[in-house]
Amino acid sequence: MFIAIKTEDGRNKGKINFYCNVLDVTRQGFYHYLKTKDLPWKYQALADAMIDICTGDECNDTYGRIHMHQALQLKQPDGVKIPGERTVYRVMEEIGISHI
């Protein structure tokens, strides 16, 4: 997370080098963050499809990554590219539906 003081016209006030040194990041990392901070999450459609699968049936809340991957392959949600099991696992952890 970056801290910057902005003026009323939206420009950064202060020296970028100072902010980068304080936060221990590179200038390249700072500008990459500014460029990508408003982009949507690339797995949002996949996460929505997983939530739909979990809320579709009472027993689905115990799905692990393998069963979730199989359910995604069976249902083939529109506009969702189904990734590998490891990515399914990461997305499940991110949205908080991991099987314990």
* Confidence (pTM): 0.65
Condensed to tens digits (0 to 9), the pLDDT of residues 2-37 reads 455 555 566 656 677 887 888 888 989 888 888 888
What DSSP string runs through the chain? ----EE-TTS-EES-HHHHHHHHT--HHHHHHHHHHTTSPPTTHHHHHHHHHHHHH-GGGGG--HHHHHHHHHHH--TT-----HHHHHHHHHHHT----
pLDDT of residue 1 exceeding 50, the answer is no
pLDDT of residue 97 exceeding 60, the answer is yes
Condensed to tens digits (0 to 9), the pLDDT of residues 33-85 reads 888 888 898 999 999 999 998 888 777 667 888 999 999 999 998 889 999 99
